[in-house]
Amino acid sequence: MFSSKLCCIKGFSSSPLLALKSFTCVLIDSSQGQCTVTNTLAAQCKSKPQRQVCKTVLKHFDAQYSEELGEQWWSARDVLLNPLSWQYGVLLNRFSDLANLRQCLTGLGYTNLLPQTCPESQSHTTHMHLQCFIHRDPVRIPTQGHHSGWLKQYYLLNAASLLPVLTLNVKEGENVLDLCAAPGGKSLAILQAATPGLLHSNELDKHRYDWLLKTLESYFPPTLRHLLSVTHLDGRSIGSMRPGAYDKVLVDAPCSNDRSWLYTPDTHQGEMWLKERTQLPLLQKELLCSALAAVRPGGVVVYSTCTMSRAENQSVVEAVLASYQGVELLDLDQQLIDSLSDHFYFAHLRPSVGQLVIPQKGKTWGPMYVSQLRRIY
């Protein structure tokens, strides 16, 4: 099912360096605010219909987020309304040959998001393997297609989505549960950060479960396949099914994804999603409680979403802390936050229940909310 070969992509040179140099990329001219397209994508860019903003969702966001975030919302709004400015980090796959890829990314102006420091001097030693390259300008290199039996070299993602994995701080040999794992980016990042004793990646939705399987097949070698367990279960039941079985649990909960919902295809769909939004906090609380049951005493649970909504973020964590005995809220590692502050804009939450990254001009990564809890007994 798996192979350690590099992903073979139609039209790519056999040399990763030459292949990257021939990438067809969409670049944003920050001074003109215009789309500059190289090579054969020019005609496609002109003919491709632009995504339309759902005015119903935008009106709702304006009312909610101007109250919750104040002036910070209007800067975030400008970024969210300009999809061409959304940046993509390049998460490298340590299980493939990366020598020329690193060199080429550096030549294209990419830098490593995370400093590669000596283990003796840092608490987050397991992040030594994890490498995500980012660009100061909005640039996206092409995705690599899935081919059975071949391993990809990189995975494109919003760099802020690495924050939950960095906060989880997985160490070698730990048993880890990714409760809502699809499409698989955070499971992949966990495997880049450390080699767990077991990584249990779970996804309830059948379509997304199939997507998760394909992602893991594309990046993880067959020799380590025994370290993975991929299931199709209701995450709310895993805590009772496997109590105290894990050292670390990640709950990247289903949420009202701000970026996706702004571009809902039609007004009717937007209205349906806004009604669904009111039901999400209950589901999120149930998932977080299941995660706390699944982690061992002394173990850590990280709760995250990709929305700025207070009801789905701080309020969920506060409600669980109030109702679930034997749990304490942990402060996020200040050293980690400081190391990312040049790239992410961390909003100040009141009360301080977790950290919220919101997209700002010049720091377009986000949205991403993260909170860390420890089970005491």
pLDDT band at 273 (very low <50, low <70, confident <90, very high): confident
326 is in an annotated binding site: no
pLDDT band at 46 (very low <50, low <70, confident <90, very high): very low
The sign of the dihedral angle between the CA atoms of 258, 29, 158, 146 is positive
In angstroms, what is the C-alpha Rg of the chain? 20
239 is in an annotated binding site: no
Contact between 159 and 133 under an 8 Å Cβ cutoff? The reply is no
Q: Can you point out the beta strands (E) in the chain?
A: 26-29, 34-37, 89-92, 110-112, 132-135, 139-140, 154-157, 175-178, 198-202, 228-231, 246-252, 295-305, 327-330, 346-347, 355-357, 368-375
Q: Which of the following CATH numbers is that of domain 53-85+160-377: 3.90.1170.50, 3.40.50.150, 3.40.630.10, 3.40.1360.10? A: 3.40.50.150
Tell me the average pLDDT across 211-226.
94
Give 105-123 pLDDT, tens digit per residue: 999 999 999 876 544 444 4
- Identify the pLDDT of residue 140: 84
- With a cut of 50, say whether residue 21 has pLDDT above it: no
- Identify the pLDDT of residue 351: 83
pLDDT band at 145 (very low <50, low <70, confident <90, very high): confident
Entry pTM: 0.86
Contact between 261 and 57 under an 8 Å Cβ cutoff? The reply is yes
Which of 230-234, 256-260, 348-352, 370-374 has the least mean pLDDT?
348-352
Task: Tell me the percentage of the chain whose pLDDT exceeds 90.
Answer: 70
The token pair that represents 34 in the structure block: 């215009």
What is the three-class DSSP state of 232?
Answer: coil
Tell me the average pLDDT across 265-274.
86
Give 326-354 pLDDT, tens digit per residue: 999 999 999 999 999 999 999 988 888 99
185 is in an annotated binding site: yes
Tell me the average pLDDT across 368-375.
98
- With a cut of 70, say whether residue 85 has pLDDT above it: yes
Residue type, 43: A
Residue type, 100: N
- With a cut of 50, say whether residue 4 has pLDDT above it: no
- With a cut of 60, say whether residue 269 has pLDDT above it: yes
Considering only residues 85 and 180, tell me which one the structure prediction assigns the higher pLDDT: 180
- Identify the pLDDT of residue 50: 67
**Active site (annotated) includes residue 306:** yes
Contact between 258 and 61 under an 8 Å Cβ cutoff? The reply is yes
- Identify the pLDDT of residue 127: 53
Residue type, 354: G
pLDDT band at 49 (very low <50, low <70, confident <90, very high): low
User: In terms of DSSP bridges, do strands 346-347 and 246-252 run parallel, antiparallel, or are they unpaired?
Assistant: unpaired
Tell me the average pLDDT across 313-338.
96
Please state, in angstroms and as integers, the Cα–Cα distance from residue 119 to each residue in 31, 125, 165, 229, following that order: 41, 5, 18, 29
203 is in an annotated binding site: yes
Give 149-172 pLDDT, tens digit per residue: 789 999 999 999 999 999 999 999
184 is in an annotated binding site: yes
- With a cut of 90, say whether residue 239 has pLDDT above it: yes
- Distance separating alpha carbons of residues 79 and 301, to the nearest angstrom: 31
- Identify the pLDDT of residue 238: 98
172 is in an annotated binding site: no
